[in-house]
Chains A and B, each alone.
Chain A
Amino acid sequence: MDKKLRQIMSNIFEIQEDGIIDKLSIETAENWDSLQHLNLILAIEEQFGISISEDKIIEMTSFVKIKRILRDKGIEI
């Protein structure tokens, strides 16, 4: 169910989809800087048709955290 999210992160961080694992985070991913974070947020909002609040944006710093936040917003992932 997390396929779409994997695709987004794979496209943005230029990592193969099977490399998108739970512990992938802003610390471990080479390309994950503040500008790519902005792209990530724009892409997620676009893909799932949602708006993410500032505190959540700041929290979304790993694959597992992003999934949790999206689930909290009612997205099946």
Chain B
Amino acid sequence: MVEQKKDIEFLVKQNKPLQACIKLGEFINFHSTLDNFMYAEKIYKQISKDLKLHKFKIAILRSITIEPMLPFIKVKCFENKIKPELYLGDYNIIDQEILNKNSSLYNFKPDVVIIFSRLEEICPRLVNSYLELSSEEVEMEVKNVLDKIENLVLTFRNYSNAKVILHNFELPEFPIFGIIDTQHERSQKRVFEKINTGLLEIVKKYEEVYLLDYEHLVSLYGKKNWFDEKLWFMAKAPISRVGLEALANEYVKYFRAMQGLTKKCIVLDLDNTLWGGILGEEGIEGIKIGHTSPGNAFMDFQRELLKLYHKGFILAINSKNNEENVMEVFDKHPDMVLRKEHFASIKINWSDKVQNMKDIGDELNIGMDTFVFLDDSPVERELIKQQLPEIHTVELPNNPHLYSKILKELPDFQMLSFTEEDMKRGKIYYEQVQRKKLEKSATSLEEFYTTLEMEAIIKRDDNFSIPRLAKMTQKTNQFNLTTIRYSESDISNFVASNGYCVYSLQLIDKFGDNGIVGEIIIKENGDAWEIDSFLLSCRVIGRTVETAFLSYIIEEGRKANIKSIISKYIPTRKNIVVKNLYKDHGFEFVKKNGEISVWKLDIEKFSIKCPDWIEVIEK
């Protein structure tokens, strides 16, 4: 242990922060004691300025002593590429801090605020003197708690746009009526459940307020392990060592998702990862995948991966094997859960895995910092860790029985919302790769476009698309002319307003439905239309969809007796691809405001022809 620390400190002195990080991570993984977390925190602080980290201001309001949790939160933030700045509200003054708009909470200007209140403090009567209350009084208490919390959330929203993480309440460890409690008409546990259901109704009403299922987290670890009686009575610190770390982990899952650090793609090895044994040696009959141990553990692991696929994560293979033999397994083995069509990119060969990894990234057109890598071989893992540190290489245990559990515990796949679009993504990327193969085989670009059989469905001011359209403005960086980010309520205001039109474009081709991939927001200005936003998802760039879309907008403008279309290009680091978009479509250059160029098309004189190979359908 001393040696490891010396190594880490040496790397820090040598000014090798990335390597120091890797060693520190291994050290903490191995010796995860509270004092070592405090040591790690000190080291991370020294090197944080040399690492590329996302700054994040976190405020925690609490009614109990949680100071010993802070080292866990900080170290886990650093491990997840977040540089935390923490504000801890004073002990048990949650209300005062939220209700006073001059409080130090608001001065701190948090990005996220955690409201960790407990029934013991916010409503002690329901906990301590439940039996002294009549049923009516219990009802009143429930209503009061919910009103109080809603008032806190509402007030906070008025003063701050920060994201909110609100705890729900732990159900009683020992409900008042004991073994009969849930059945009893005055059940204490069911009253607590009712409050939790009420909280769910509250968070639904506000944007970016998230309900942390504290009750679930506590029961996951066990109420008996979570509560530390001695520290509670001595220091008002009721959460045990186990609980402190678990809760910190849970917070960091939210922080990651809030910072857009959710991974997109799971890259898998095959032998001893997707099945037991080595295919090249044991053959299709010999590999372990099936209904008895350990084959059933691999089957279960595949089932978990399939769930992730259905949630919209992309699966890929990076394996040293003979492709032919592997395809036979995918096609013929009766117990395989995953099939070839679940993998968007397949690299099975004898070249090194680093190159394969880069090829997968190119093929899918996503950054390797969105990859998670699962491989049973420590040697391959070490190689990827060293060469491609941006990839999250997971320490798979030797025992395959634990694979599923490890996968489920990873913070990498947590998201703050799941839209229908998200869930289709795994399939969409598979189709994308099939398209690329077609592109390679077509003799001309026109032939390729024609064989794609593209249909563009364009809708105006469609209420059902609002979440997707808001998300697109937040996430699209490359094909995005103005890069203005909008929330769901912004978009729904545009949809409802007379001065704006919101157009969405859904693209279907012979390989499947790409979903909504295009968005144009028009701002009406007398006899001109201004294009406030114009964006396309990166997966359909280079297919002339933008031309079809602009062509359609011009026709719409004519119908509305509009004389000209005004547009803007605001350059960013990532949107070079559309630098000449308006010029290429015949727009006339008007002027430059600093970096911003303004363009105009006189639609009484000019049109844009829709490409022959795209059929536009109006809905």
Residues of chain A whose beta carbon lies under 8 Å from any beta carbon of chain B: 7-8, 11-12, 14, 34-35, 38-39, 42-43, 45-47, 51, 53-54, 57
Tell me whether B68 and A38 are in contact (CB under 8 A). yes
Assess the A7–B1 pair: CB atoms within 8 A: yes
| A39, B235: Cβ atoms closer than 8 Å | no
Contact indicator A11/B38 (Cβ below 8 Å)? yes
B residues less than 8 Å from A11 (CB atoms): 35-36, 38-39
Q: A38-B67, A42-B241 known; A7 and B234 CB under 8 Å?
A: no
Contacts of A12 in B (CB 8 A): 35, 38
* Residues in B whose Cβ lies below 8 Å from that of A45: 241
Most interface-central of A43, A47, A53, A54 (chain B CB within 10 A): A43
In the complex, the answer to whether A35 meets B67 with C-beta atoms within 8 Å is yes
A54–B234 contact, CB under 8 A? yes
B11 at interface by CB-CB < 8 Å: no
Chain B, Cβ-Cβ closest to A40: B35
The interface centre, meaning the residue of B33, B34, B36, B235 with most chain A CB atoms within 10 A of its CB, is B34
Decide if B230 touches A39 in the complex (CB within 8 Å). Answer: no
Across the interface, do A54 and B35 meet the contact criterion of CB distance under 8 Å?
no
When A and B form their complex, which 8 residue pairs have the shortest distance between CB atoms, in order from nearest? A11-B35, A11-B39, A43-B35, A8-B35, A43-B34, A35-B67, A11-B38, A12-B35
- List residues of B (4-42) whose CB comes within 8 Å of A's CBs: 33-36, 38-39, 42
Return the CB mask of B334-371 against A: 1 if under 8 Å, else 0. 00000000000000000000000000000000000000
Contact of A39 among B2, B42, B68 (CB under 8 A): B68
A54 touches B67 (CB 8 A): no
Minimum CB distance partner of A34 in chain B: B235
Report chain B residues within 8 Å CB of A8: 33, 35
A45 to B240, CA, bound (A): 11
Instruction: With both chains docked as a complex, state the minimum distance between the C-beta of A67 and any C-beta of chain B, in angstroms.
Output: 16
Chain B residues in 8 Å Cβ range of A43: 33-35
Asked whether any CB of chain A lies closer than 8 Å to the CB of B140, the reply is no
Give the chain A neighbours of B33 by CB distance below 8 A: 8, 43, 46-47
In the complex, chain B residues whose CB is within 8 Å of the CB of A51: 230
| Any A CB within 8 A of the CB of B231 | yes
Per the bound structure, the CA–CA distance linking A11 and B2 in Å amounts to 12
Given A7-B1, A43-B34, A47-B33, do A38 and B39 touch, yes or no (CB 8 Å)? no
Tell me, rounded to whole Å, the shortest Cβ–Cβ distance linking B381 to chain A: 29
Residues of B within 8 A of A42 (CB): 34, 68, 231, 241
Docked complex Cα distance between A34 and B236 (Å): 13
B610 at the interface (CB under 8 A from A): no
- Tell me which of A14, A39, A57 contacts B234 (CB under 8 A): A57
Q: Which residues from A are CB-within-8-Å of B230?
A: 51, 53-54
Task: Tell me, yes or no, whether B237 is within 8 Å of chain A by CB.
Answer: yes
Contact B42 A46 (CB under 8 A): no
Q: Give the distance in Å from the alpha carbon of A12 to the alpha carbon of B37 in the complex.
A: 9
Smallest beta-carbon distance A39→chain B, Å: 5
- From the candidates A14, A35, A38, name the one contacting B42 in the complex (CB within 8 A): A14
Could you name 17 residue pairs across A and B whose Cβ atoms are closer than 8 Å? Answer: A7-B1, A8-B33, A11-B38, A12-B35, A14-B42, A34-B235, A38-B67, A39-B35, A39-B68, A42-B34, A42-B68, A43-B33, A46-B33, A46-B34, A47-B35, A53-B230, A54-B230
- Given known pairs A11-B39, A46-B241, A51-B230, the reply for A39 and B1 (CB within 8 Å) is no
15 further A-B contacts with Cβ under 8 Å, apart from A35-B67, A38-B65, A54-B234, are A8-B33, A11-B35, A11-B39, A12-B35, A38-B68, A39-B67, A39-B71, A42-B68, A42-B241, A43-B34, A43-B35, A46-B34, A46-B241, A53-B230, A54-B230
A13 to B: closest C-beta gap in Å: 9
Q: How far is the CA of A14 from the CA of B68 in the complex (A)?
A: 16
Residues of B within 8 A of A53 (CB): 230
| Whole-angstrom CA separation of A12 from B67 in the bound complex | 13
Q: What's the minimum C-beta distance from B33 to chain A, rounded to whole angstroms? A: 5
CB of A7 within 8 A of CB of B68, answer: no
Please, what's the 1-or-0 string for B510-544, where 1 marks a CB less than 8 Å from any CB in chain A?
00000000000000000000000000000000000
Which A residues are CB-close (under 8 A) to B241? 42, 45-46
Q: How far is the CA of A42 from the CA of B33 in the complex (A)?
A: 9
* Residues of the B chain whose Cβ atoms lie less than 8 Å from the Cβ of A35: 67-68
In the complex, which residues of chain B have a beta carbon less than 8 angstroms from the beta carbon of A38?
Answer: 65, 67-68, 231, 235, 237
CA distance A34 to B61 in the complex (A): 20
> Within the assembled complex, what's the spacing in Å between the Cα atoms of A11 and B8?
14
Contact partner of A7 (CB less than 8 A), chosen from B35, B71, B231, is: B35
Bound CA span A38–B241, Å: 11
**A42 to B71 alpha-carbon distance, docked (Å):** 13
Chain B residues with Cβ below 8 Å from A46 are 33-34, 241
Determine the distance from Cα of A54 to Cα of B228 in the docked complex, in whole angstroms. 13
Least CB distance, B27 to chain A, in whole angstroms: 12
Residues of chain B from 204 to 231 with CB closer than 8 A to chain A in the complex: 230-231
A60 and B65 CA atoms in complex are apart in Å by 21
Cα A7 to Cα B234 in complex, Å, equals 25
Docked Cα-Cα span, A46 to B32, in Å, equals 10
CA distance A45 to B68 in the complex (A): 14
**Residue from B2, B36, B38, B231 having most chain A Cβ neighbours under 10 A:** B38
Within 8 A of A (CB), among B251-304: none
Distance between B532 CB and nearest chain A CB, rounded to angstroms? 52
> What's the nearest-Cβ distance from chain A to residue B527, in Å?
68
Q: Which residue of chain A lies nearest to B35 when distances are taken between CB atoms in the complex?
A: A11
CB proximity of A52 to chain B, nearest CB, Å: 8
- CB interface residues, B 165-190, toward A, < 8 Å: none
Least CB distance from A32 to B in Å reads: 13
